[in-house]
């Protein structure tokens, strides 16, 4: 038998450090990430992704798009799947839809939805927060923001369930079909607005119709670009806002003293926005975001080659003890600039003003219409990767 030789110039593939989809990780993602942050701050997963756990390392990634690219998908993703210089003109369009005056104008519609949904919750009976409040709130608010009809509420809720199931099972074929279904909803709304524009009245302007008139580089946006923008807004809204509401409701039920204090100060919308940021720092509604290395880079003591997938773990970075002393403690005096809930750098979430408005308004309505929120006998069920928050949270309100 010939002796096997190994070329000294060929490096062996690195060994995986962990499995982010392992049962013990999925049982409590937050606790698992806390452990990994101390043990292995940059870890190669069995699926081939490099997970980054520390706050400083994640902040470095977010602010270095030249090394860590946002172009991670073969599908057009406007603008968050673009790098400079292509990213800038598209991002400038998106930012116009989240200005302070737009948020002020949208607040009454948002409050009406929150008030109606909270009023409909049964008192002194178990309430399943995700199904009875969080999901319908996210759905109806997003439809109102886009100017979409109530007839889309049901289809979008069903679509969200199918998308969630396909994502969890990593069923690529189902995910593609579901994406096409959602794109069909958007294209139908675009066609309706084009038809209305031909009428003498011209129709009522809304965010969807305004996108049809947006230009980049001296030309109108294509339908494909508009669909991508709206998909990004809506898919993120439906999932992340619902997860945020669930986490906030559970936190309030778990902490009656904080609940009582916030109820007494509920008229301060700015305070409640800060409170929602801090609650979601503790329990992230969005677990992670992806990047791809453009060049070999050393980070957290590890060398990551070019072309590798990197996972920015918000759920870990926002609990880093070096930045957030006593990270499990709810504190409103922390530096808000350190909270990476809505990201940082050129790809920071453009919809953050809308999310803060929605969550502060919902907290105002929920705290104002109740005297207590307590956990019900059914134990909460955590969501699993890539989702954050809770699949089920049951409470009793009075």
- pLDDT of 151 above 90: yes
- pLDDT of 12 above 70: no
Residue 145: which of 15, 43, 265, 234 has the closest Cα?
234
pLDDT band for position 196 (cuts 50, 70, 90): confident
Residue 210 CB partners (closer than 8 Å, separation 6+): 97
- Three-class SS state of 150: helix
Rg from Cα positions in the chain: 22
Cβ–Cβ under 8 Å, residues 266 and 363? yes
Give me the pLDDT at residue 9, please. 46
Residue 269 CB partners (closer than 8 Å, separation 6+): 360, 361, 364
Instruction: State mean pLDDT over 208-228.
Output: 95
Q: Which residues pair with 299 in a beta bridge?
A: 302
The domain defined by 23-397 folds into: Cytochrome p450 (1.10.630)
Q: Cβ–Cβ contacts within 10 Å for residue 241, how many?
A: 24
Domain boundaries of the chain, sorted by first residue: 23-397
Q: Cβ–Cβ contacts within 10 Å for residue 123, how many?
A: 11
Residue 225: which of 90, 87, 96 has the closest Cα?
90
- pLDDT of 25 above 80: yes
Give me the pLDDT at residue 160, please. 80
Residue 355 is encoded by which pair of tokens? 């999310």
Instruction: Tally the residues of the chain.
Output: 398
- pLDDT of 5 above 50: no
- pLDDT of 22 above 50: yes
Instruction: State mean pLDDT over 303-320.
Output: 96
């Amino acid at each position: 038998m010939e002796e096997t030789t190994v070329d000294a110039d060929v490096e062996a593939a690195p060994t995986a450090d962990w499995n982010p989809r392992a049962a013990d990780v999925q049982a409590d993602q937050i606790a698992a990430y806390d452990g990994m942050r101390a043990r292995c701050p940059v870890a190669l997963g069995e699926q081939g992704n490099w997970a980054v756990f520390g706050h400083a390392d994640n902040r470095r990634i977010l602010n270095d798009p030249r090394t860590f690219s946002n172009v991670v998908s073969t599908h057009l993703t406007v603008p968050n799947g673009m790098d400079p210089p292509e990213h800038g003109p598209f991002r400038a369009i998106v930012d116009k839809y989240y200005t302070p005056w737009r948020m002020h104008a949208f607040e009454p519609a948002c409050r009406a939805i929150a008030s109606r949904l909270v009023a409909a919750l049964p008192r002194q009976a178990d309430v399943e927060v995700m199904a009875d409040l969080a999901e319908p709130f996210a759905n109806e608010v997003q439809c109102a923001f886009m100017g979409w009809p109530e007839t889309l509420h049901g289809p979008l809720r069903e679509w969200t369930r199918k998308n969630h199931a396909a994502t969890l099972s990593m069923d690529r074929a189902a995910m593609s079909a579901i994406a096409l279904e959602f794109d069909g909803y958007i294209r139908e709304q675009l066609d309706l607005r084009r038809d209305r524009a031909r009428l003498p009245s011209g129709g009522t302007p809304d965010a969807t119709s305004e996108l049809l008139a947006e230009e980049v580089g001296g030309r109108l946006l294509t339908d494909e670009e508009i669909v991508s923008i709206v998909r990004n807004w809506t898919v993120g809204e439906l999932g992340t806002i619902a997860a945020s509401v669930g986490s906030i409701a559970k936190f309030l039920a778990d902490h009656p003293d904080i609940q009582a204090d916030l109820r007494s100060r509920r008229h301060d919308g700015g305070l409640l926005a800060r409170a929602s940021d801090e609650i979601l720092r503790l329990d992230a509604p969005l677990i992670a975001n992806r990047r791809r290395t453009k060049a070999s880079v050393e980070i957290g003591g590890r060398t990551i080659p070019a072309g590798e997938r990197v996972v920015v773990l918000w759920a870990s970075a926002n609990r880093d003890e070096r930045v957030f002393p006593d990270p499990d403690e709810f504190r409103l005096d922390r530096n808000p600039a350190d909270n990476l809930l809505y990201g940082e750098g050129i790809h920071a979430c453009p919809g953050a003003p809308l999310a803060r408005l929605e969550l502060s308004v919902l907290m105002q309505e929920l705290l104002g219409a109740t005297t207590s929120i307590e956990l019900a006998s059914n134990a909460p069920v955590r969501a699993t990767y890539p989702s954050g928050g809770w699949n089920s949270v049951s409470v009793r309100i009075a």
